[in-house]
Amino acid sequence: MTSTASSNVTHLPTYPSARPAWVTDEVVARLTDRVFRSPDGDESIVATAPYDLAPIAPVPTSSAADVAAAVEVARLGAAAWNRRSFRDRAAVVLAFHDLFLAEQDQLIDLIQWEMGKARFSAWQEILQVANIARHYARVGEKYLAPKSVRGAIPGLTKVAETRVPKGVVGIISPWNYPFYLGVGDAIPALLAGNGVVSKADSQTALTLLFARELMGRAGLPTDLWQIVVGRGSVIGTALIDQVDYIGFTGSTATGRTVGEQAGRRLIGASLELGGKNPLIVRPDADLTKAAEGCVASSFANTGQMCIHTERVLVHADVYDAFKAALVKATEGLRLGQTYDYTVDIGSLASEAQLATVVDHVENARAHGATVLTGGRARPDLGPLVYEPTVLEGVDASMTVCAEETFGPVISLYPFSTDAEAIELANRGSYGLSASIWTKDTHRARLMAAAIRSGSVNINDGAAAAAGSIEAPMGGMGDSGLGRRHGAEGIRKYTEAQTVAEQRGMALGPPASMAVEKFVAMTNGQLKLLRKLRVR
C-alpha cells in the first residue's frame, strides 16, 4: 500500500492534538448550550477523537423527560411556523444555505475532528446539503401543492388532495455523515411545516449543534428545531414515543426495533439501514474507468457509508485485467490524517469500527482468502487508520462474505453470464445500492430492472444516484423502507388530506325518488361510463 506523508500527517509514538485551534472552550460551551435538557441535568457524554484518541468535549445529555419537553416545545413552535408561507420558510433555508457555505471550513473541521474522515469526504457533505437546501426551497412548494382530483359526481363534487404537516418529526441520525444525514433530513421536514427534534449521535454532536446554530442565525425560530443527546436506548426510545413521525438512519438491527416501536404507535417511519452493495463489471466495460469508479465507491469516507461497494462482481474474461487495474488504483490512494486536501482516505471513526474491519479481514485470511492489497492497520499514520483492502477467494464460510463491514474492505467474485451476475448481486437480504459498468447501457438497464436494489448506477459507483436530489433514495429488503430526496423526501413529512366540496344536489337518492329507481338509474350511468372509457 502506498502512502503519502506530509508535514501535517500524524505519526506515532505521540499524536499532536487533533482539536482544531479555533474550537476553544468558549466555542464548545456555546454549542453544547444548545442541547435541550433541564437546568438541573448534570450528566455528560465524551466522545473520542479518531485522529488522536483524545477526548473531544463533554456534551450534556438529555433525559427521557427532556425529550418529551423538547417535543412539546417544538410542537408549539410548529403551529406558528406552519402559518407562515412556504416562501417565508424557504427564505430561512436559503439563508442557512449561504451561511454554511460561507463558514464551511469550520464545519468541515468539526466533521473531521469528530468523525475522522478525509477532508474531501467531509466537503462532500457540504455539497450534498447545499443541493438539498436549494432544491427543496425552490421546488418544495410544488411537491406539496394541492392537487385537484375527480369528484364522485363530475361538475357537482369538487375535490382536492392537500398536504398537512405531521406535527413534530423525530430524526435519529448517525455518525458517518453527521451534517448530510442530520441536516439533510431536517430541511424538508421543516419546509413542510413541522417542528423537528433531532437525536444527535454522541460521536458527532458538535457538528449538528453547529449546524443548528447556523440555522438560528439564518432566522429559524428558536423553539422549532431541538437537539437532544444521549444513549439511544434512553432518548431514542423516548423520542419515538413522543413524535408524530420518525426518521432513522443506522443499522438494520436497530432499524427493526425503531420500526416495531413506531408501528405500535401507528406513526410513520423512514428507515435507511445497512447494505452489502454489489458492483458488476461486464466484459465490455472500460476497465480503467471501472477500477477508478470502484475505488471511489468502495473507499470514500473510509468505506463508512451505507451505499459503498463491498462486493465486486467481475466477468471471468476480464477478471485478471480488472484485478490488476483495481489494485493499482487502490495503491495510488493517499492515506493519512490532515486538515487539508492532501490525503484521500482518512481514519476510521472508532476503535469499534477498526476492530470490525480487522476481524473481517483476519477471518477471511484464516479461511483461505487472499489479500491482494492492504490488509493491515497503519498506526504510523493514525491510531485508527486501516489500509484500503482488496480480497479474493472469499466464500460463504467467511464473515466478510455476507455481513456488512462498513470499512475500507472489498471482495472480488468472478461470474460468467449476466444472469449469474444478477443472481450474485441479489444474494443476501440487503438491497440498497448497486453498480453496473458496461458500454452496453441498454443491457445495463435491463439488468437493473432485475436487481433488487433501491438505486442502480450505470458506469458510476454510487454517487450518481445518491447525488440526484430529485430522485428518491432508499433501500429494499433489509436495507429499509421509505425514501429521502425527491418528492417523497418531503411528502413523507406530511399527511394527505382530502377536501371535498359538494355543490348542488346531494349524493344519494333525492327524497322524492324511490331507492330502487335511484339504484337502477345509477347502474345505467356506471355502464355508460364504462362504455365511454371514463377513468
DSSP string, 339-351: SSSS-SB---S-H
Q: Is the pLDDT score of 407 beyond 50?
A: yes
> What confidence score (pLDDT) does residue 8 get?
36
219 contacts: CB under 8 Å, gap ≥ 6: 91, 92, 95
Q: What angle do CA 489, 252, 374 make, to 5 degrees?
A: 105
* Rounded distance between C-alpha atoms, residue 255 and residue 249, angstroms: 8
Per-residue pLDDT, averaged over 40-69, amounts to 95
Q: What percent of the chain has pLDDT over 70?
A: 97
With a cut of 90, say whether residue 15 has pLDDT above it: no
Q: Which residue has the higher pLDDT, 535 or 310?
A: 310
Residue 83, Cβ neighbours under 10 Å: how many? 9
Residue 330, pLDDT > 70, answer yes
pLDDT surpasses 50 at 13: no
Q: What is the pLDDT of residues 249-289, one digit of tens each?
A: 999 999 999 999 999 999 999 999 999 999 999 999 999 99
Closest CA to 121 of 364, 368, 297, 293: 297
Does pTM surpass 0.85?
yes
User: How many Å apart are CA 368 and CA 255, to the nearest integer?
Assistant: 33
CA distance 287 to 227: 46
Half-sphere exposure of 451 (CA within 13 A, CB side): 29
Active site residue 272: yes
Segment among 86-90, 214-218, 502-506, 521-525 with least mean pLDDT: 502-506
Q: Where are the domains of the chain?
A: 42-273, 277-469, 508-535
Whether residue 7 has pLDDT greater than 90: no
Distance in angstroms (rounded) separating the CA atoms of residues 39 and 45: 17
Q: What is the CATH number of domain 42-273?
A: 3.40.605.10
Catalytic option among 114, 125, 294, 306: 306
Q: Which residues contact 233 (CB under 8 A, 6 or more apart)?
A: none
Could you report the per-residue pLDDT of 169-215, keeping only the tens digit for each? Answer: 999 999 999 999 999 999 999 999 999 999 999 999 999 999 999 99
Q: Is 161 a catalytic residue?
A: no
To 10 degrees, what angle do helices 119-144 and 104-115 make? Answer: 120
Give the Cβ contact number of residue 510 at 10 Å.
8
CB 422 within 8 A of CB 416: no
Would the pLDDT of 67 be above 60? yes
Angle at 203 between CA 199 and CA 204, to 5 degrees: 70
What is the CB neighbour count within 10 angstroms for residue 527? 10
Report the alpha-carbon angle 2-410-51, nearest 5.
Answer: 55
Q: What number of other Cβ atoms are within 10 A of residue 507's Cβ?
A: 11
Which DSSP string corresponds to 6-54? Answer: -TTS--SS-----S-TT--HHHHHHHHTTB---TT---EEEEE-TTT--
Q: Helix (H) and strand (E) counts for the chain?
A: 18, 18
Quote the distance between the C-alpha of residue 383 and its chain's center: 27
pLDDT value of position 169? 98
Residue 476 binned pLDDT confidence (cut-offs 50, 70, 90): very high
Q: Which of 114, 272, 310, 404 is catalytic?
A: 272
pLDDT (tens digit per residue) in 280-317 = 999 999 999 999 999 999 999 999 999 999 999 999 99
For 126-139, write each residue's pLDDT tens digit: 999 999 999 999 99
Cell of 397: 464460510
Provide the pLDDT for residue 62: 97
> In the prediction, which pLDDT does 14 show?
53
Q: Which residue has the higher pLDDT, 179 or 518?
A: 179
The confidence score (pLDDT) of residue 11 equals 35
- Compute the distance between CA of residue 73 and CA of residue 36 in angstroms, rounded to an integer: 10
Give the residue among 385, 433, 429 at the shortest CA–CA distance from 407.
Answer: 385
pLDDT-derived band at 16, boundaries 50, 70, 90: low
CATH class, 277-469 region: alpha beta
Task: For residue 166, give the DSSP letter.
Answer: -
Q: What is residue 327's predicted lDDT score, i.e. its pLDDT?
A: 98
* CB of 400 closer than 8 Å to CB of 420: no
Question: CB count, 10 Å around CB of 14?
Answer: 7
Poorest-pLDDT segment among 3-7, 54-58, 406-410, 441-445:
3-7
For 391, phi and psi rounded to 5 degrees?
A: -115, 150
